[in-house]
């Protein structure tokens, strides 16, 4: 069985050196380059996470569907006049020598990217209140220092979207921070530009999704600078580049507009079958003991695959496969 199929270690790719893995994605650099040099290969696996665990059972086609969706958004965003270039070099399959394209073993799930100096901030925009934003609001009445009106509930639409940056944590969850903290880290001009592009990208994604009956509750983007451009320099704001994946169900919360009802947790567009099954008696999962979640039954896997495909088809207006 392949690594992707076991959810275990990432694949060995000829011509590429593994750099790091997240819960669901794997990052590589050319084996021919010195460590820390050369282009990058972002590979989306079929792994799924739920309740902070990577599940033992992959969802077939998930990596390919999310890669296709991200590439579709990159094109939409390039046409939208945000003035925000992206890191994509190619998603085309090339010879297995890292000289061009993507290795055949990960065709459809990998994007070759230019290497950037990533900002030490997760750029998040929220148009609806849930998750850590809701927790902060309940504790303080504000999210990332932005005061919100009284009376909001889980799933409430915000009167206007807010920039809710977070600093990256090596272990555990990212920490929500105020704009002032971002300005200290990046300098005020770059921080302003990061906020502006994040909110404009959210607005575009939210509008496209809403037209398709999908709510975009929030989204997280990763921004970087070309090597050599200092964050503090005057040209840094114009040099910002959109990296990583964009507006996928792994970087965003999508909700079915038809099911939206503030005052309770909203069903996840993609993962609700997984969550419901894991929390059901049928799974036998002892979540409280932090046991590893049990393997998913075939019907839950197939239903979840269908939700990723449906998200792709609704958002893009294209048929999958
Ligand atoms: C993205 C990540 C992944 C684990 C580094 N163009 C870029 N330049 C520099 N760094 C990155 C990128 Cl995309 C970069 N990540 C996040 C991706 C697996 C973590 F595939 N880390």
Separation of CA 303 and ligand 1 centre (Å): 29
Nearest CA to ligand 1 atom 21: 27
C-alpha span between 49 and 44 (Å, rounded): 13
Ligand 1 near 111 CB (within 6 A): no
Residue 3 is predicted with a pLDDT of 41
CB atoms within 10 A of CB 287: 12
CA of residue 321 to ligand 1 center, whole Å: 27
- What would the pLDDT profile of 262-290 be if each residue is shown by its tens digit? 999 999 999 999 999 999 999 999 999 98
Ligand 1 pocket, 224 CB below 6 A?
yes
E-assigned strand segments in the chain? 16-21, 25-30, 40-44, 49-50, 53-54, 88-90, 110-113, 117-118, 121-128, 142-143, 146-147, 157-163, 166-167, 175-176, 214-225, 241-243, 252-256
d(CA 198, CA 59): 30
Model confidence at 9: pLDDT above 80: no
CB 252 within 8 A of CB 161: no
The pLDDT of residue 8: 55
In this model, does residue 189 exceed pLDDT 50? yes
101 secondary structure, DSSP code: S
Q: What is the pTM of this model?
A: 0.95
Residue 94 binned pLDDT confidence (cut-offs 50, 70, 90): confident
């Amino acid at each position: 069985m392949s690594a992707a199929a076991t959810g275990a270690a990432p694949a060995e790719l000829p011509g590429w050196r593994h750099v790091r893995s997240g819960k669901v994605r794997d990052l590589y650099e050319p084996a021919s380059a010195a460590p820390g040099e050369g282009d990058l290969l972002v590979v989306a696996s079929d792994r799924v996470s739920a309740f902070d665990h990577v599940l033992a059972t992959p969802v077939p086609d998930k990596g390919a569907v999310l890669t296709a969706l991200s590439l579709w958004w990159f094109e939409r965003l390039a046409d939208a006049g945000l003035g925000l270039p992206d890191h994509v070099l190619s998603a085309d399959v090339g010879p297995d020598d890292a000289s061009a394209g993507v290795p055949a073993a990960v065709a459809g799930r990998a994007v070759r990217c230019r290497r950037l100096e990533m900002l030490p901030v997760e750029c998040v925009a929220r148009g609806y209140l849930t998750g850590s934003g809701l927790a902060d609001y309940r504790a303080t009445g504000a999210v990332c220092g932005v005061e919100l009106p009284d009376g909001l509930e889980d799933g409430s639409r915000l009167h206007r979207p807010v920039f809710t940056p977070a600093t990256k944590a090596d272990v555990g969850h990212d920490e929500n921070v105020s704009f002032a903290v971002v300005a200290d880290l990046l300098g005020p001009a770059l921080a302003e530009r990061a906020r502006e592009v994040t909110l404009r990208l959210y607005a575009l994604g939210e509008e496209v999704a809403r037209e398709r009956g999908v709510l975009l509750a929030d989204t997280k983007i990763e921004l970087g600078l070309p090597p050599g451009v200092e964050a503090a320099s005057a040209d840094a704001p114009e040099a910002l580049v959109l990296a990583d994946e964009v507006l996928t169900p792994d970087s965003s919360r999508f909700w079915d507009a038809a099911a939206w009802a503030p005052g309770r947790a909203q069903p996840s567009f993609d993962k609700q079958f997984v969550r419901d099954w894991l929390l059901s008696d049928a799974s036998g999962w002892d979540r409280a003991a932090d046991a590893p979640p049990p393997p998913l039954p075939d019907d839950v896997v197939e239903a979840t695959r269908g939700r990723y495909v449906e998200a792709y088809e609704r958002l893009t207006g294209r048929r999958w496969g």
